[in-house]
């Protein structure tokens, strides 16, 4: 049977093939301790406009396959294979899955032979090479539908194009200072199907709608360029109506874009933020804290980083030197500091199962200032070996043909009980940082510098001056220990471009938190 | 992988058919096939590991069609693609997608046309890489790791250090991580104004390895880039391990001088090839793209022909030079590649561009002369603003059929006007640092403002009285400065060029060491380890 296009509905047929081939594969092969396969089907559409001119639009689909095998004669090792497919491959899908598993198997066996050889030839340095295995997880079969009001594929491409063009044109006309604007909208559906030789069969469908607004405002040779992401796991309705949920609140996309443009325009007439030589009181709003929790809580609590697996790329973590010297169970912040990752929260990083079929659950990283736990995968959980590190379902890929990595789900600072207005009004002199911009973090996440969209100077509890091009910088531990107020205004925001891995995977996820107060050095432009 | 011949045949068949359609004004057909094999390394002497953590690959092929349509609403431009289908049916599907999404972009001038430049680079790929065997792929990865482990096993320094603690060498917390990436790309392209099918094949291997002796916070890096499969060796692994061992301490008069940190302040700094490469990839090359000039984002806006940085600096993109692995014979728009002299002795000479941006600056932007600082048409007559950097790169491997061409560097080179031996640069530093590797280098307040920050993570040393005095403690220094200030404060440049592999970058930067005065450094993590009690 010929297929004209890839559709989300194809998943019904493909998942049976996936399961059947895996079952046959496990029976046929010797020395296989684990095998799994994953497909990702996507259908969607997008449009982009620049300064009121439509630059592109389109509707497309994709189908990707990935397989993993853990096998070996004397010791086990992993092999992986990924491939992009098209409609013409669908009649041969089962054969292709078999081929992919064979490739993964060949790699696993070859890898295992090399590993075993080194266990001997590397002498004492070969002692830590281990027999790859995965921690146990409950084996489920589940189908989870998407949540939406307007199905992304029911919106016409013309509507999407008209929407971005209108917003872009209005922005251009509205303010002479706004020299450049780029407006991008995409709405799409993704169906992720995972099957394992253990019997798991997980079928999750997600709707995504995402907008990116970029603006550049110029005022008397001062330039401000800002961008922000608007997004949720919902349908097109959020573009027209915004989002008004418990944790996620957005105006509609037009208003979102206008708000950002107005900010950039205002900031272009503001003075540059000063530097401080010593730490000062800093209050940070939920949007700023979105990037802060991402960088100094989320990343350093990824267990692959903890186990030094990311030393060459994303770095290590100051929270864990080795099994004898680490901060687990010890104080890393004030008693007001709480943070966790929770895939079940209704944010941009929501899911119920990760990409190895592990049921996703909340993991507390910091409770009352004490370090408690890490995001993990089945393999890292087995290596860590601590029951506090049972698999919690954080192994995720950004697409269907790449190897998953440990990624944040919705990683957040937990809510406190203080009114954010009081957090500001209590301050005699300090600074209020609003909206995140760009991060730069030290290799083990022990120091950070994150720029903000707006920095207000606070005097006697009131904002008195607005600065541009400011931010803050601190040693993470100092910052955590000085947290002395946490607000009751918890918010979740989307992050659309978290990069990790080789090849690099840019992942969508959720971050957030409430208003917080601590101490840090203020940063501005170059001195 | 689909062969070049198959891609050519697909493009020819598609182009002949599509260009005859009544509503087509112009059409471009692009087909590509890409494979990326990655061997990821993870070894620790003190934590369970796999050594060869991942032996993996991804591959794709397909056809992309960009077309100018005559419609009832006027001229529209669209793009569509189809995966895994090089037949005429696949091209028709791609065209339908292009037609459906076509837009009336009045800044669009035309599809690419021939330019006054001849192609110079042919047949530079390694056929063996196109047929990479699983056995060779995995063996090569383990070979690199072997290089690092052997260096550790044979190191007298490590044995001494372990003996001091009365423990085995494995207790020193040895780490080796990184990857070997093998990339194979094939493309074919034809368009209305360039109906002769253009093809290109490129293959390359990059290796980046980080090693540590964690007990001493000592980190070292090793890199490799290879145009031939047969040339892959264990050098990167050995180099990373040796650099990590060196970073444990400098032996002076038989005593180990442990790594030092440095107090916050301004210092003369020698940036090594890797940091210069990071500055290039994240700050300088993005500022030298035609899109950045059009978009007012470049700090070099309006400065064509002017002295913009130190006269010691020369930066060029050397796309057609097969000596470096970023070389390409043609762009993804079918145009020849060339060497583009971006900055010559500190003067802004040229920028990187693709067809769309060059045409926009030449014909559609009334502010173009103000943005460039010179009449774009005059620049073009001088052979500048040429659209020879239009690529469809896939973030570190592959030329995508599913996108139109953006602007990218290939072999981006930074070299000196009067280069000196590195020893002369070191000798010129009364008290400062040599920075061998930086991390997380980003423009903090927008590209134009030029403010950047980064942390110093490895391969770095304290210099005193013109000599290397001690390793710099890893992760103890943050740079907070401005790229224009730094580039205007370059006092000297070394004669030692080295290619670096930058994570997620499509270009391969090749850079030397530069001595910069008054770099602002901040000491970070100065306090002792946090209290361990609850």
Backbone angles phi, psi at B81, to 5 degrees: -145, 165
Cross-strand pairs, B471: B461
Contact (CB<8Å) B54/A403: yes
A203-232 average pLDDT score: 96
Print the domain residue range for B224: 4-257
First to last CA, chain B: 58
More confident residue, A164 or B528: A164
Strands B265-271 and B431-435: parallel
List pLDDT tens digits, range B35-90. 999 999 999 999 999 999 999 999 999 999 999 999 999 999 999 999 999 999 99
Last residue of a domain, one of B257, B277, B308: B257
Same domain, B310 and B227: no
Cβ separation of B47 and A110 shorter than 8 Å?
no
Contact B135 A477 (CB under 8 A): no
B300 & B160 share domain: no
Hey, how many other C-beta atoms are within 10 angstroms of the C-beta on A385? 10
- Indicate yes or no: CB of B446 within 8 angstroms of CB of A224: yes
| pLDDT on residue B529 | 37
Which tokens in the block code for residue A493?
């925001």
| Residue A107, min C-alpha distance to chain B (Å) | 6
Q: How far is A86 from chain B (nearest CA, A)?
A: 5
Average of pLDDT values for A345-373?
97
Q: Between the CA atoms of A418, A344, A136 and A388, what dihedral angle is there, to the nearest 10 degrees?
A: 0
One domain, residues B457 and B477: yes
Are A442 and B55 a contacting pair at CB < 8 A?
Answer: no
Q: Tell me the chain B residues in contact with residue A127 when contact means C-beta distances shorter than 8 Å.
A: 45, 170
CATH number at residue B149: 3.30.2290.10
Q: Which one-letter DSSP state was computed for residue A246?
A: S
Return the residue in B2, B39, B52, B183 with the most chain A beta carbons within 10 A, the one to mutate for interface testing. Answer: B52
- Write the residue in B43, B106, B178 that is nearest to A53 by C-beta: B106
- What backbone torsions phi and psi does residue B400 show, to the nearest 5 degrees? -75, 135
B274, two tokens? 């890797």
The 10s digit of each residue's pLDDT in B263-320 is: 999 999 999 999 999 999 999 999 999 999 999 999 999 999 999 999 999 999 999 9
Residue contact B442–A224, C-beta within 8 A: no
CB within 8 Å: B142 and A114: yes
Are B351 and B412 in a shared domain?
Answer: yes
Residue ranges of E strands in B291-422: 313-318, 339-344, 347-348, 390-391, 406-407, 411-416
Task: Find which of B151, B163, B404, B451 to mutate to test the A interface (most A CBs within 10 Å of its CB).
Answer: B451
Distance between A132 CA and the closest CA of chain B, angstroms: 7
B113 touches chain A (CB under 8 A): no
Domain count, chain B: 2
Q: Is A149 at the interface with chain B, CB within 8 A?
A: no
* Contact in structure between B495 and B419 (CB atoms under 8 Å): yes
Determine the pLDDT at residue B195: 82
B179-203: burial string, b at 16+ Cβ within 10 Å, e else: bbbbbbbbbbbbbbebeebbbbbbb
Residue B395: the pLDDT is 64
**Residues B239 and B270 reside in one and the same domain:** no
Q: Give the tens place of pLDDT for each residue, B345-375.
A: 999 999 999 999 999 999 999 999 999 999 9
Nearest residue in chain A measured CA to CA from B1: A83
Which tokens hold the place of B341?
Answer: 């002299």
- Per the domain annotation, does B300 fall within a domain? yes
Specify the CATH architecture of the domain A8-43+61-135. Answer: 2-Layer Sandwich (3.30)
| ipTM, 2 dp | 0.95
For the segment A154-181, the average pLDDT, to the nearest whole number, is 97
What's phi and psi for A341, nearest 5 deg?
A: -120, 135
CB < 8 Å from B in window 9-38 of A: none
Chain A, residues 240-299, CB within 8 A of chain B, namely none
C-alpha distances out from residue B284 to B66, B352, B371, B503, Å: 31, 12, 17, 16
Residue that finishes a domain, picked among B235, B257, B279: B257
Provide the shortest C-alpha distance from residue B253 to chain A (in Å).
Answer: 30
What percent of chain B is predicted at pLDDT more than 90? 86
What does DSSP say about strands A462-467 and A447-459: parallel, antiparallel, or unpaired? Answer: antiparallel
Q: Does any CB of chain A come closer than 8 Å to the CB of residue B74?
A: no
Please name the residue of chain A whose CA is at the shortest distance from the CA of residue B108.
Answer: A55
The DSSP call for residue A460 is: T
* Residues forming beta bridges with residue A367, ordered by sequence position: A370
Q: How far apart are CA A289 and CA A378, in angstroms?
A: 30
- CATH code: domain A152-267 is 3.30.2290.10
Q: Is the pLDDT of residue A330 over 80?
A: yes
Question: How far is the alpha carbon of A425 from chain B, nearest alpha carbon, in Å?
Answer: 28
Q: How far apart are CA A470 and CA B216, in angstroms?
A: 35
Q: Does A469 touch chain B (CB under 8 A)?
A: yes
Domain shared by B224 and B310, yes or no: no
**pLDDT in the model for residue A4:** 81
* pLDDT the model gives residue B257: 72
- Three-class SS state of B37: strand
Tell me whether residues A58 and B79 touch, CB distance under 8 A.
yes
Instruction: Please state, rounded to an integer, the average pLDDT across all residues of chain B.
Output: 94
Nearest-by-Cβ selection for A125 from B48, B174, B481? B174
> Which of A68, A502, A506 to probe the B interface (max B CBs under 10 A)?
A502
Phi, psi of B37 (to 5 degrees): -105, 130
One domain for residues B384 and B413: yes
Q: Is residue B230 part of a domain?
A: yes
Domains A8-43+61-135 and A152-267 share a fold: no
- Domain boundaries defined on chain A: 8-43+61-135, 152-267, 280-523
- Are B67 and B216 part of one and the same domain? yes
When pLDDT is cut at 50, 70 and 90, the band that residue B475 belongs to is: confident
Q: Look at residue A23 and tell me whether its pLDDT is greater than 50.
A: yes
| Neighbour count for residue B498 (Cβ, 10 Å) | 17
Residues of A in contact with B135 (CB under 8 A): 110
Same-domain status, B73 and B120: yes
Cα separation, A310 vs B506, whole angstroms: 21
Reported confidence tier of residue B250, pLDDT bands at 50, 70, 90: low
CB contact B396 to A (< 8 Å): yes
Q: How do the residues of chain A divide into helix, strand and coil, expressed in percent and rounded to 5? A: 25, 40, 35
Contacts of A320 in chain B (CB under 8 A): none
- Mean local confidence (pLDDT), A10-39: 95
Q: Which of A60, A179, A330 minimises the CB distance to B97? A: A60
A412 contacts A490 by C-beta, under 8 angstroms: yes
C-alpha–C-alpha distance, residues A259 and B209, integer Å:
45
pTM recorded for the entire structure = 0.95
Helix (H, G, I), strand (E, B) or coil at A43: strand
pLDDT tens digit sequence for A464-520 = 999 999 999 999 999 999 999 999 999 999 999 999 999 999 999 999 999 999 999
Residue A1: per-residue pLDDT: 62
Confidence class of residue B530 from pLDDT cuts 50, 70 and 90? very low
Q: Note whether A124 contacts B474, CB cutoff 8 Å.
A: no
Contact B449 A223 (CB under 8 A): yes
User: Is B439 in CB contact (< 8 Å) with chain A?
Assistant: yes
Asked if B168 and B280 sit in the same domain, the reply is no
**At which of B234, B257, B280 does a domain end?**
B257
What span, in angstroms and rounded, lies between the C-alpha atoms of A125 and B401? Answer: 45
Q: Are residues B35 and B132 in the same domain?
A: yes
A91: number of Cβ within 10 Å: 12
Structure-model confidence comparison of residues A464 and A314, the more confident one: A464
* CA B29 vs CA B65, B82, B329, B330, B365: distances in Å: 5, 11, 18, 15, 28
Same domain, yes or no, for B74 and B182? yes
**Strand A485-486, strand A470-475: pairing:** unpaired
**Alpha-carbon distances of B286 from B236, B283, B467, rounded to whole Å:** 28, 6, 35
Cβ-Cβ contacts under 8 Å for A12 (sequence gap 6 or more): none
- Closest-CA residue in chain B for A50? B105
Identify the three-state secondary structure at position B42: strand
Percent of chain B with pLDDT over 70: 97
Residue B449 contacts A where some CB pair is shorter than 8 Å: yes
pLDDT at B396: 66
The C-alpha atoms of residue A104 and residue A112 are separated, in whole angstroms, by 12
* Mean pLDDT within B500-514: 91
């Amino acid at each position: 049977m010929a297929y004209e296009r890839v559709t989300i509905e194809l998943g019904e047929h493909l998942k049976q093939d996936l399961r059947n081939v895996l079952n046959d594969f496990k029976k046929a092969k010797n020395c296989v301790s684990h095998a799994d396969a994953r497909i990702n089907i996507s259908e969607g559409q997008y449009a982009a406009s620049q300064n009121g001119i439509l630059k592109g639009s389109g509707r497309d689909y994709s189908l990707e396959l990935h397989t993993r095998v853990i096998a070996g004669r004397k010791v086990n090792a992993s092999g992986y294979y990924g491939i992009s497919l098209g409609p013409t491959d669908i009649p041969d899908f089962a054969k292709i899955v078999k081929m992919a598993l064979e490739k993964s198997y060949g790699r696993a066996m070859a890898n295992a032979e090399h590993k075993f050889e080194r266990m001997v030839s590397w002498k004492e340095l070969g002692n830590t090479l281990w027999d790859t295995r995965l921690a146990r997880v409950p084996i489920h079969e589940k189908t989870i539908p998407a949540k939406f009001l307007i199905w992304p594929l029911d919106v016409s491409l013309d509507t999407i194009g008209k929407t971005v063009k209108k917003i872009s044109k209005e922005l251009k006309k509205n303010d002479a200072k706004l020299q450049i604007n780029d407006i991008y909208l995409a709405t799409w559906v993704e169906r992720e199907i995972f099957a394992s030789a253990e019997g798991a069969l997980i079928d999750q469908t997600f709707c995504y709608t995402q907008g990116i607004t970029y603006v550049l405002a110029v005022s008397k040779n001062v330039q401000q360029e800002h961008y922000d992401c608007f997004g949720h796991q919902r349908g097109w309705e959020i573009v027209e109506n915004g989002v008004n949920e418990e944790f996620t609140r957005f105006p509609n996309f037009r208003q979102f874009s206008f708000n950002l443009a107005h900010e950039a325009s205002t900031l272009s007439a503001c003075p540059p933020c000063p530097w401080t030589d010593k730490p000062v009181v800093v209050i940070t709003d939920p949007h700023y804290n979105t990037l802060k929790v991402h960088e100094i809580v989320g990343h350093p609590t990824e267990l692959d980083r903890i186990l030094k697996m990311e030393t060459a790329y994303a770095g290590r973590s100051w929270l864990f030197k080795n099994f004898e010297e680490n901060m687990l169970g010890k104080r890393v912040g004030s008693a007001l500091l709480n943070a966790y990752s929770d895939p079940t929260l209704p944010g941009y990083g929501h899911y119920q199962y990760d990409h190895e079929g592990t049921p996703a659950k909340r993991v507390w990283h910091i409770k009352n200032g004490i370090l408690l736990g890490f995001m993990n995968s089945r393999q890292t959980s087995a290596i860590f070996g601590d029951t506090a590190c049972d698999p919690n379902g954080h192994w995720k890929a950004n697409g269907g043909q790449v190897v998953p990595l440990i990624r944040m789900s919705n990683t957040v600072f937990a809510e406190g009980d203080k009114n954010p207005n009081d957090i500001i009004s209590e301050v005699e002199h300090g600074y209020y940082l609003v909206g995140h911009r760009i991060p730069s973090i030290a290799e083990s996440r022990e120091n950070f510098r994150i720029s903000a969209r707006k920095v207000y100077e606070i005097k006697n509890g009131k904002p008195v001056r607005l600065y541009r091009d400011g931010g803050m910088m601190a040693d993470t531990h100092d910052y955590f220990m000085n947290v002395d107020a946490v607000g009751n205004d918890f918010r979740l925001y989307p992050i659309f471009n978290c990069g990790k891995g080789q090849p690099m995977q840019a992942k969508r996820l959720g971050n957030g938190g409430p208003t917080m107060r601590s101490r840090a050095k203020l940063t501005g432009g170059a001195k | 992988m689909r062969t070049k011949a198959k891609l050519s045949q697909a493009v020819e068949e598609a182009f002949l058919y599509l260009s005859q359609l009544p509503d087509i004004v112009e059409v471009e057909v692009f087909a590509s096939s890409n494979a990326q094999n990655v061997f990821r390394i993870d070894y620790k002497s003190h934590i369970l590991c796999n050594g060869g953590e991942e032996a993996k690959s991804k591959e794709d092929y397909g056809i992309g069609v960009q077309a100018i349509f005559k419609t009832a609403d006027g001229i529209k431009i669209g793009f569509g693609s189809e995966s895994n289908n090089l037949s005429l049916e696949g091209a028709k599907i791609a065209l339908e997608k292009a037609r459906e999404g076509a837009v009336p972009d009045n800044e669009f001038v035309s599809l690419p046309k021939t330019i006054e430049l001849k192609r110079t680079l042919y047949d530079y790929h390694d056929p063996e890489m196109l047929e990479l065997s699983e056995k060779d792929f995995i063996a090569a990865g383990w070979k690199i790791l072997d290089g690092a482990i052997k260096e550790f096993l044979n190191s007298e320094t490590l044995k001494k250090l372990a003996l001091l603690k009365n423990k085995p060498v494995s207790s020193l917390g040895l780490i080796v991580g990184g990857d070997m990436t093998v990339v194979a790309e094939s493309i074919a392209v034809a368009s209305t104004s360039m109906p002769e099918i253009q093809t290109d094949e490129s293959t390359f291997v990059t290796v980046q390895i980080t090693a540590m002796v964690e007990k001493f916070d000592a980190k070292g890096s090793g890199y490799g880039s290879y145009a031939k499969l047969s040339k892959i060796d264990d050098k990167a692994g050995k180099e990373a391990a040796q650099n990590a061992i060196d970073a444990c301490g400098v032996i002076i008069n038989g005593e180990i001088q442990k790594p030092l940190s440095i107090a916050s302040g301004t210092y003369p700094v020698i940036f090594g090839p890797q940091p210069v490469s990071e500055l290039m990839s994240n700050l300088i090359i993005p500022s030298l793209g035609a899109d950045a000039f059009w978009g007012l984002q470049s700090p070099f806006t309006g400065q064509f022909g002017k002295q913009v940085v130190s006269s010691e600096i020369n930066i060029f993109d050397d796309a057609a030079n097969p000596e470096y692995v970023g070389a390409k014979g043609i762009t993804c728009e079918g145009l020849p590649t060339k060497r583009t002299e971006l900055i010559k002795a500190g003067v802004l000479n040229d920028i990187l561009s693709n067809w769309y941006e060059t045409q926009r600056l030449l014909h559609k932007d009334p502010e173009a002369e103000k943005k460039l600082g010179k009449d774009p048409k005059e620049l073009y007559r001088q052979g500048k603003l040429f659209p020879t950097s239009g690529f469809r790169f896939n973030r570190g491997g592959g030329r995508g059929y599913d996108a139109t061409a953006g602007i990218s560097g290939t072999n981006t080179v930074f070299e000196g006007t009067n280069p000196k031996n590195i020893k002369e640069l070191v000798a010129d530093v009364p008290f400062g640092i040599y920075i061998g590797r930086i991390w997380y280098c980003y423009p903090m307040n927008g590209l134009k403002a030029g403010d950047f920050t980064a942390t110093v993570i490895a391969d770095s040393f304290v210099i005193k009285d013109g000599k290397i005095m001690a390793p710099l403690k890893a992760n103890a220094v943050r740079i907070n400065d401005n790229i224009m200030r730094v580039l205007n404060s370059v006092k000297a440049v070394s004669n030692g060029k080295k290619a670096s592999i930058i994570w997620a970058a499509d270009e391969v930067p090749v850079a030397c060491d530069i001595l910069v005065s008054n770099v602002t450094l901040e000491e970070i993590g100065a306090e002792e380890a946090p209290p361990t009690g609850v």
